[in-house]
Chains A and B, each alone.
Chain A
Amino acid sequence: MRKRPTNRYTGFIKAGVLGTFVYKFSIFGWLVGDIVALVIYCFLWIAVFANSPTATINGFTSTGMLAYVVSARIIGHLVNSSSSFYNVGSDIREGTIANRLSKPINYRRTQMYSSIGQYIGSFILFFFPLYVPAQLILHFAFGVAFPAWYNILLFLVSSFLSMLIIDSFDFIIGQVAFFTGALFGVMLVKDAVMSFLSGGMIPLSFFPQGFQTVFKFLPFSSMLQTPAFIALGMYSFEEALIKIAWQCVWVVFLGLLSYATFGRTVKRVISVGG
């Protein structure tokens, strides 16, 4: 019996989920640095608000900021669960891409499906066990309100879209490895730029006005700040829908761009390998 074409890729979703479970300890290994950074930023913000002449800074109250810093870190890990960057980079670098391309499946799509699997895996293994206790602590110790039910639903949609945006972005940047051969360095630059411009380190409202205008035309705020603001209930229902619509635009745009760039890169691969 012939399987429907979409089923060809469900295996990649499953593999993505299971892959996350296999490397669960490596996730927690990297967590240490995150916890240190989190503790530093929490204390820093507490001190900043203690020294502030006003109760709110750029629209944030002291507890609102704590909630944002903690949530953005955890959500950041969830939406960054894609390993397309590394897969593409190493496939090209080591030449295994030739083998992959010979299979009757779309390379770009397999990467996306395994990223979806990794997203599900890290949701279960990492996001849920960290985010829920964090919200409980924020609620009972600092009086941060729980998100409304529709915010939770919107967050699920928004974070999934964020993951797709980052997956496409990573896929595009991963191809840079082909031209430079320096995966690790490119990854450091990409991670630094992404976490800084997506609001992972500081909310974008702290940037000078000129930058904020430019950010409106870049995909970064759709990568993290949108789902984080939705989860914290900082957008009204309508605002959230508009932001999600923007995310859809970026999913489509970067998705198409990743296909287009890959089409060109593949030609180079063949010319070099042949």
Chain B
Amino acid sequence: MLKYLKIYPKYLAMAIKSKLAYRMDAIIGSFGFIASNTAAFFTLYLTITAIPALGVWTIEKMVFLYGFCLVPKAIDHILSDNLWSLGNWMVTKGDLDPILTRPLNPLFQIVAREFQYEGFGELILGIIFLAIYGPKQNIVWTFNNVMPLVLCGFFAIFLFFGIKLITASLAFWMKRSISLMSGIYELSNFTKYPLEIFHDIVKVILVAIIPFSLVMYYPVSYLYEGKSIWVLTGIIGLVVSFLVGLGYLLFKLGLKRYESAGS
């Protein structure tokens, strides 16, 4: 374990250096993600401000929720973007060969060798939303609500990671799982909006099957209702651990099936 902690910064430094060759790409890529999220934000803003409020949901509450979803998504985007390559072409192209010859955990190598600058666009925007709309909430910020909220955000990073790992690992069976992967990943966009406006089927999927809403929507919603979120945080921790564990199990099983590409 200690070995990995030592190696990780070196891997990151390598990934950052290799990306610096295309500095403009990274900067404009960040702008791209800022632009698409800003457009989504203004759409939401224009939609909601056309009416006084959406039930109990004011625009301030909705933007805070939006920011809370954006930050963990961005951090995962920055650190584990290479999982998309696993789902897309690594299995068919035989790109895992060099990874399997090294005496390091294969998953570690896949994840650590990529550092995706573009995610900083979402991260900055998410932090701006939280910073502007956090103080505007009718909430007294104390240790008892900030701490579990931060924990939930931390778990949410691993939720994205776990969901991506599960769907990417299916590529060992499907050869390419990118469509399934992006389809399920896209579902995370639902959590940026109040859950109660959606149909029951959507709710069941987002809470019980692919629990994006359980992890990101409910903590914020509980907070607005003045409830304690410690218990919920515990449940979320368990669910996320289970999903990451399941993803790792699938990855391990898949690796056994992996046969290199023909020459």
Contact = CB atoms under 8 A, between A and B. Distances in A.
B52 A53 contact: yes
Contacts of A206: 46-47, 50
A188 B36 contact: yes
B25 A36 contact: no
Interface stretch (A5-13, A42-50, A78-86, A136-144): A42-50
A191 B51 CA distance: 28
A170 to B, nearest CB: 15
B228 interface: no
Contacts of B187: 36
A44 B32 contact: no
Contacts of A57: 50-51
- Most chain B CB within a 10 A radius of its CB, from A58, A181, A191, A202: A202
A101 B179 CA distance: 37
Contact of A29 (B29, B35, B39, B179): B179
Given A192-B32, A202-B46, A185 B118 contact: yes
Interface stretch (A124-132, A193-201, A235-243, A258-266): A193-201
| A contact residues, range | 35 or more
A272 interface: no
| B contact residues, range | 35 or more
B179 A40 contact: no
A156 interface: no
A196 B198 CA distance: 24
B5 interface: no
B11 interface: no
B124 to A, nearest CB: 15
A185 B51 contact: no
20 contacts: A32-B186, A39-B202, A40-B189, A43-B193, A44-B193, A48-B48, A48-B51, A51-B54, A181-B24, A185-B30, A187-B32, A188-B32, A191-B36, A192-B35, A192-B38, A193-B35, A196-B43, A202-B43, A206-B46, A206-B50
Given A51-B54, A185-B25, A186-B28, 8 more contacts: A32-B179, A36-B189, A39-B202, A43-B193, A45-B47, A51-B53, A182-B25, A201-B40
